[in-house]
Structure 1
Amino acid sequence: MFSGEDLEECPLSFRWRWTADSGPLGLLRTRVLVTLLFGGGLLAMWWFVDLEKQQRLRQQHMEQLQKVALGQGNFSLLDHRGQRRTKQDFLGSWLLLYFGFTHCPDICPDELDRLSAVVSTLDQDTSLPPIQPLFITVDPERDDASALARYVQDFHPRLIGLTGALDEVKEVERDYRVYASPGPKDEDGDYIVDHTILIYLISPDGLFLDYYNRMNNQEQITQSIRNHIKAYVRL
């Protein structure tokens, strides 16, 4: 065992190690250091494994979406300015899509107001890309480009209205599994169209990602879209 005289004769570096690393305090420091290193290693390993798992799940999800027979086709319609627009024109942008008609008394305006509010809220977050809102009519016989131009003015300034020939619109409805059936006409020739009431979220790859019904409020839709954007992995 070292005496005080022996310690005095030892090199300075050895004396420091003997006084700092021996005894209860030195042992405690060593244990704490080992614990921190071991715990940090485990945490880093867990984070890496979790990241790999999340990326793998997202990739699997995207592959599954590609197999879903929803919104897989192309479309060619006229916008509210009379210009021909196809699905290819919107690739690279996030889309919020709603099917309705301009003579709808209350539901369609309410849904488009909600859609517009969601887009406006997301616009305030500069870290997110802009969302493109789309409105496709299910009543092309009455909703021509000029009718849509008047109608979309009441909603988000980026809202694009789309119409076309009856067969062109029906093709898009089938592609997104939208139900639309005109009701009987009244004495003035007016009628209501019974149709699917959903807002569709479309990724920049043109894939259907999610839908929102009337049970989803504005905050829920906004947060869902934000989560989809943050988790998005381009194919």
Structure 2
Amino acid sequence: MKARTVLVLTVVVILGVAGVYLGVQWADANYEYQGSLIEPAMPAFPIALAESDGELFSLQAHQGKVVMLYFGYTNCPDLCPATLSDFKKIHDSLGERADEIEFVMVTIDPERDTLEKTAQYVSAFDSSFIGLSASETDLQDIWDGYFVFRAKSGADSAAGYLMDHTTRTYVIDKQGNLRLTYPFGIEYQAMLLDVEHLLDE
């Protein structure tokens, strides 16, 4: 009798564990991303640029983390600071898990944005944010690799000129694959949901 009871309990436990596992797998398979999903996922175009502290930033070296990538410039009056403010909200919402994600801005205006200026600009939003700049020659392949549009627009009395540019945010998963993009204006909570899902993969 005892053996039968133990057997029944064992079967119940196994079925329970299996049910939880299958439930998680089902939820994962049926998750609907808030951003534009890249299917099939493709390796992110390589980025390898010096940081302001002299260290080399390499996407490959950051595999194991999620990377949120934006292309902007320090004289941007509106879209860039708004995007970086959303990055800050996502960073703070993640709490201790914020260490599992990198927030990166690559300049589209190297004529004015030195490496130091770009790094200082993004660090004003959060000290962990990474700002990258280099020569136009070094950056051109990266812009092309992410299909980034950039062009000078009319002169502005304060900034000298403005830049028209791609305003999408790119998300690279822990395996180094480009997984998602977001248009400017999407709520940060939507991006946060996707990032949390990618962190749990």
Give the shorter-chain TM-score range. Answer: 0.7 to 0.9
1:220 positional shift: 1.6
Change (3 A) 1:130 1:48: closer
Write the letter of the residue equivalent to 2:67: L
* 1:216 corresponds to which of 169, 186, 197: 186
Runs of 5+ consecutive residues of structure 1 not aligned to the other structure: 1-33
**Match of 2:58?**
86
**Match of 2:40?**
64
**Match of 1:118?**
90
Write the letter of the residue equivalent to 1:91: Q
Write the letter of the residue equivalent to 1:194: D
Separation in structure 2 between the aligned mates of residue 221 and residue 107 of structure 1, nearest angstrom? 16
Write the letter of the residue equivalent to 1:193: M
Deviates more, 1:128-137 or 1:109-118: 128-137
Over the matched positions of the two proteins, sequence identity in percent amounts to: 24
Q: Is the 8 A contact 1:75 1:168 kept in 2?
A: no
Write the letter of the residue equivalent to 1:171: D
Q: Is the 8 A contact 1:82 1:145 kept in 2?
A: no
The root-mean-square deviation of aligned C-alpha atoms, in Å, is: 3.6
Separation in structure 2 between the aligned mates of residue 47 and residue 156 of structure 1, nearest angstrom? 38
2:163 is the alignment partner of 1:193: yes
Aligned length: 190
Change (3 A) 1:153 1:219: same
Runs of 5+ consecutive residues of structure 2 not aligned to the other structure: 1-7, 32-36
1:144 positional shift: 0.8
* 1:171 corresponds to which of 141, 149, 156: 141
* 1:205 corresponds to which of 175, 178, 190: 175
Higher helix residue share: 1
**Match of 1:29?**
none
- Quick one: higher RCO (CA 8 Å, sep 6+), 1 or 2? 2
1:48 positional shift: 6.2
Q: Highest Rg: 1 or 2?
A: 1
Higher strand residue share: 2
Separation in structure 2 between the aligned mates of residue 150 and residue 48 of structure 1, nearest angstrom? 45
Write the letter of the residue equivalent to 2:40: Q
Separation in structure 1 between the aligned mates of residue 159 and residue 184 of structure 2, nearest angstrom? 29
What secondary structure does 1:148 align onto? Answer: helix
